[in-house]
Structure 1
Amino acid sequence: MSKIDRMYYLTEVDKQPRSIYCMHDLMGENDVAPHMHHKGQFLYTQGGIVHVVTPQKTYFLPARHYLWIPPGVEHSIHPGSPDVIMRNLYFPVEPGDQPFYFETGIYPVNDLLLQMVIFSNQWSGDINEADKSSYLFAMALKYILPEISMYNLPLALPYAKDKRLDKVIRFMEDNLQEPIAFPELARRFGFSERSLSRLFHKDLAMSFVQYLTIQRMMRALRFLLEEHMPVKEAAALVGYNSVPTFSTTFYKIIGIRPSDYVKMNDLSHEKLF
């Protein structure tokens, strides 16, 4: 899609306030610059991973999940590979809508929602109330989201405001394949264990272990989905010598075993073409 065509993000989505706007977009090698909408955005991707960056956090959207972006939230979009296809539905959100629609979150896509996304492939541009059948179907998709989206995937990492902590996090990011022991990490950067632990909680509202685990799972997902690595190899490259331990941690975060997740992604990828 050309740069001119991409202007729909800024010019078309909100032109008709009451419409539902639909766009299926092959990303290529292009990022989408920071922008915002008056409508809420349902974003589903296939063919790879997408990073969505807000002023507060970086969200890591893997296969078979969707990201809900509330109205008025500034965000930029960064595909992990040129083969990523984004499937977007932009919905009007009313002040009396459920709290779900006002919080950014990543949620699993079940079979029902997947089939509805597949059905939406036929649409492009504005869907208005005059097109009754399409409009009602799309609104049904919107209104089932809070009912089926019970688990907000914690694949988002806040930015460190403290420059000292930012250096710690960058070191962790560069050494995920190695054992990272908290006492050694604190000494390396001139902290006591207690002060570094407090800094994690104060600045990031997360513990060191929580932050490191999510870092590792985000990297593992990229290895599994974009580089098609075997589970054992991906586990080793994010610091797990034990595949069962990696699999259990992956399950706790993602809600499915890594081997099953890869198979599920392959099947859903085929269905959407």
Structure 2
Amino acid sequence: MGLIAALPDIDKYDNSVFVMHEASEKLIPFHKHTKGQLSYVEGGIAYITIDNRTYVVPARHFFWIPQGLEHILQIGHSATVLRSLYFYAHDDFSNSFFNRLGIYPASELLIQMIKYTEIWDERHVTSMDENFEFLIALKKILPETHKQPLPIILPATQNKQMMRIVNYLENTIEEKHSLTSISKKFGLSERSLSRLFKTDMDISFLQYLKTLRIIKAIELLLNTNKSINEIADEVGYSSISSFSDTFREFTRSRPTDLRKVDVKTHK
């Protein structure tokens, strides 16, 4: 049973944990559930879209989606395994962690605990099941061990002028763009372009460009065998150190760390 087929079953029992481990490459359209969702991304990349914002989840990271939050989930690589636990929500008031969307680097302890739950794959687990306390403990440690979500968020736009600008940036990401060069390209003053990004997408031009470059870099790191130098150049960085520092700002790891993780996962 795939995740799409399983969606109607997730909320079947209020006090259960529904377990789903799936290797796939697919788009799961807008949906929501009355349970909170913990999903660990293994060996690839995932994208979550909520309210015209796309969140990027690299390999060896997990995301938490609170109950009732409508979202789109896309798996971006055929080798990706998505290990998901849909938790009862009756105690979500106990910590603000459970009431907000977040993406976090997964600790080694959490990774091993999530992998252990494969024994319950495609099942609802309740207090009647042996070792249900293990799942209770797993949920309880989340707020204590994972406090800082990653800021890899790319806003979308319905503004036709902005759509032309962001499409151009995406298609020419390897070029050395600046507020000045893009303003001239689209016949705007720097002030007008800066205001357009801020008012339409609530992000600065520079932050949008940096985020777009890092997302593209993550995709290349996980989906190609290109060298770090080649990837830095392809996303518009002439300095490998500048690329590495910006990558660390967004992901709290170096590009080489993500590449090592991906190799390890696929062994």
Same fold (TM over 0.5): yes
The reply on whether 1:57 has 2:53 as its aligned counterpart is yes
Question: In structure 2, which of residues 251, 256, 260 is the aligned counterpart of residue 254 of structure 1?
Answer: 251
- Number of aligned residue pairs: give it: 265
Answer yes or no: is the 8 Å Cα contact 2:221–2:258 preserved in 1. no
Q: Deviations over 1:180-200 (max 9, x none)?
A: 121120122222111211221
Which amino acid in the other structure matches residue 240 of structure 1? Answer: Y
Indicate the SS of the match to 2:33: coil
Q: Deviations over 1:1-39 (max 9, x none)?
A: 56xx73211x11000011011000121x43222211110
Instruction: Please identify runs of 4+ aligned residues in structure 1 that moved more than 4 A.
Output: none
Q: Residue in 1 aligned with 2:236?
A: 239
| Cα separation, 2, equivalents of 1:204 and 1:116 | 38
Q: Residue in 2 aligned with 1:157?
A: 154
Q: CA deviation at 1:83?
A: 1.9
| Cα separation, 1, equivalents of 2:42 and 2:117 | 14
The reply on whether 1:215 has 2:212 as its aligned counterpart is yes
Question: In structure 2, which of residues 4, 7, 11 is the aligned counterpart of residue 6 of structure 1?
Answer: 4
| Cα separation, 1, equivalents of 2:84 and 2:104 | 15
| Cα separation, 2, equivalents of 1:139 and 1:101 | 14
Question: In structure 2, which of residues 127, 132, 152 is the aligned counterpart of residue 129 of structure 1?
Answer: 127
Which amino acid in the other structure matches residue 28 of structure 2? Answer: V
Spell out the pairing of 1:1-273 with structure 2 (5 A cutoff).
6-9=4-7, 11-27=8-24, 29-94=25-90, 96-124=93-121, 125-133=123-131, 135-270=132-267
Q: CA deviation at 1:158?
A: 1.5
Instruction: Using the aligned pairs only, state the percent identity.
Output: 36
Which amino acid in the other structure matches residue 71 of structure 2? Answer: H
Which amino acid in the other structure matches residue 255 of structure 2? Answer: P
Q: CA deviation at 1:201?
A: 1.7
Which amino acid in the other structure matches residue 162 of structure 1? Answer: N
Which amino acid in the other structure matches residue 186 of structure 1? Answer: S
Indicate the SS of the match to 1:122: helix
| Cα separation, 2, equivalents of 1:13 and 1:154 | 28
Give the alignment's Cα RMSD to 1 decimal. Answer: 1.7
Which amino acid in the other structure matches residue 209 of structure 1? Answer: L
Indicate the SS of the match to 2:72: strand
TM-score of the aligned structures, taking structure 1 as reference length = 0.91
| Cα separation, 1, equivalents of 2:236 and 2:162 | 21
Where structure 2 has 5 or more consecutive residues not aligned to the other structure, the ranges are none
CA separation of 1:162 and 1:6: change in aligned 2, threshold 3 A: closer
Answer yes or no: is the 8 Å Cα contact 2:43–2:265 preserved in 1. no
